[in-house]
Amino acid sequence: MALIVQKYGGTSVKDVDRIRNVAQRIKQTVDEGHQVAVVVSARGGVTNELVTRARELAQTSDPKGQPDDREMDMLLACGEQETIALTAIALHALGIPAISRLGSQAGFKTDTAHTRARIREITGGDIPDQLAAGKVVIVAGFQGLSDDGEITTMGRGGSDLSAVALAAGLKADLCQIYTDVEGVYTADPRVVPNARKIEEISYEEMLELASMGSKVMQARAVEFAQKHDVVFEVRSSFNHNPGTIVKSEAPSMEDVVVSGVALDKNQAKIAVSDLPDKPGSAAKVFKALGDANVIVDMIVQNIGRGGAANLTFTVSKDDVHRAVEAVEKVLSEMGGGAANYVGDIAKVSIVGVGMRSHAGVAATLFSILADHEVNIQMISTSEIRISVAIDLADADKAAQAVHDGFELDQ
C-alpha cells in the first residue's frame, strides 16, 4: 500500500462529467489498495471569472482601481471550495468514503502576503487520521490560512504548489499532477503542434521553463519540490499514458543541450527616460520595484540626451500599473525622469542543463530568429537558459522556428 497525492487541475474538473471521470480515477487507485489524498483546483475558468468581476467593481470610479488583496483571496478561495465538495460527493456516489477539507483545515499555514502567500508550514490537520480510517481526503488547492487567521491564496496556478507541499508534508510515496496534456513537452503543444513529450526533466530545467511562461507547472511549486526533493509526475487525466517525471538532475541529462522552449505572451515593456545619470539612480528605481513586489526580468540601459540615462525593462503585464506607479513615485523623489508603459512583448526562452557544457547555443538561437526575420529587442540569460524579448506578433512563429531549428521534435 502506498500513500499517493493526486492533483487535478481546472480542465480536469471543469464540469460534472469531468468530475465523475476524476472520481473514477481516484476509485481505481483506492481499489488498487492505496491511500489517496487529492488536491483539486477550481473548475476551469472560474478563477478568471471571479477576477474579472472583482476588477469590474473595483474600477467603478477609477479605471486604474484594483480590488483589495484580502477580499480577492476571500473571493478566489470559493472556486476550490466548490470542487472539493463536488468531488467528495462524486466519490460517495461510487461508494468510496471521502471527506473534503479547506486549505485552512488541512493545516496550510502561510504568511500574510495576500494573493501570493508563501507556505510557512503544513501540519496536515487530521488528514493522516482520515486516511488511516480509510477515507479519501479532498483538499482545496491554492489556499491557506495566514498567521493572523485570514484566508490566503498562493499565486495563480497555486494548486500545483498545494499538491507538492502536501506530498512533502504527508511524506507521500507518489505525487501525481493530472492535467489536460500528457506531460511536459518540448514546447507548449498548443502553440508548437510537433512538440514532443519529455520522459524525465530536472527540477532546474522545469523551474526555468515554468518561470519563463510554461504554465504546465507553477514555478513556485517546482521550486518547493526541488527544495524538499519531492519527485512528481505530470500526466493526463484523460488517458493512462505515462507522463513526465520531474526529479533531480541525472548525469545523462547534460547530453541534451536544449530540453525545451518556453513562450510568455504576457509581458510588457516599461521605459524610464531622463533618469539622472549618477550612481544610485538605477538602484533606487529597482528597489522601488522590489518593494512593490514587481519581478523584473530583462533590463537595458543607454545614455540619452544631456547625459541622462534611459532604462527599459520587462515585467509581467499584470504588474504594469504597480510598476509604473512605484517608479513614478521614486522619480518624483529624485526630481527627474518619466516612466511609461511602451507596449506588449513576448519572451521566447530556450532551456537546457547541457548549455553549461556546450558553446555556441546563443549564436544558433540568434541566427534561427534572424532567418525568420524576428527582431530581438532584449536578451537575458542564466547558466541554463537564454531568453529574448520580441514583438508579440512574432511570438508563435518564433517559438515554432526555434523548436524546429534545435530539432526538438527528434
Task: Name the binder of 181 from Mg ion, ligand ADP, ligand ASP, none, CB < 5-8 A by kind.
Answer: ligand ADP
CB of 156 to ligand ADP, least distance (A): 9
The angle formed by the CA atoms of residues 328, 334 and 337, to the nearest 5 degrees, is 55
Question: Interface with ligand ASP includes 37 (CB under 6 A)?
Answer: no
Exactly one of 156, 284, 358, 372 binds ligand ASP (CB under 6 A); which one? 156
Residues 13-72 contacting ligand ADP, CB under 6 A: 41
In the region spanning residues 51 to 80, those forming contacts with ligand ASP, defined by CB under 6 A, are 79
Question: Pairing state of beta strands 136-140 and 98-101?
Answer: parallel
Cell of 83: 470542487
DSSP letter at 197? B
Cβ closer to Mg ion: 223 or 328? 223
Using alpha carbons only, how large is the chain's radius of gyration in Å? 23
Q: Which residues of 50-72 are buried (b: 16+ CB within 10 A; e: fewer)?
A: bbeebeeebeeeeeeeebebeeb
Q: How far is CA 286 from the centre of its chain?
A: 23
Site string for Mg ion, 2-41 (x = CB under 5 A): -------x--------------------------------
Smallest distance, Å, CB 224 to Mg ion? Answer: 15
Candidates 6, 11, 29, 110; binder of ligand ADP (CB under 6 A) is 11
Extract the runs of DSSP E, i.e. beta strands, from 317-377: 338-351
Would you count residue 91 as binding ligand ASP (CB under 6 A)? no
157 binds ligand ADP (CB under 6 A): yes
Work out which of 118, 215, 321, 397 binds ligand ADP, going by CB under 6 A.
215
Within 11-150, strands assigned E span 35-40, 98-101, 108-110, 119-122, 136-140, 143-146
From ligand ADP, Mg ion, ligand ASP, none, which one binds at residue 287 (CB under 5 to 8 Å depending on kind)?
Answer: none
Using CB under 5 A as the binding rule, whether residue 213 contacts Mg ion is answered as no
Query: Is residue 152 within 8 Å of 145, Cβ to Cβ?
Result: yes
157 binds Mg ion (CB under 5 A): yes
Give dist(CA 206, CA 208) in Å, integer. Answer: 5
Footprint on this chain of Mg ion (rule: CB under 5 A): 9, 157
Footprint on this chain of ligand ASP (rule: CB under 6 A): 9-10, 41-42, 47, 79, 141-142, 156-160
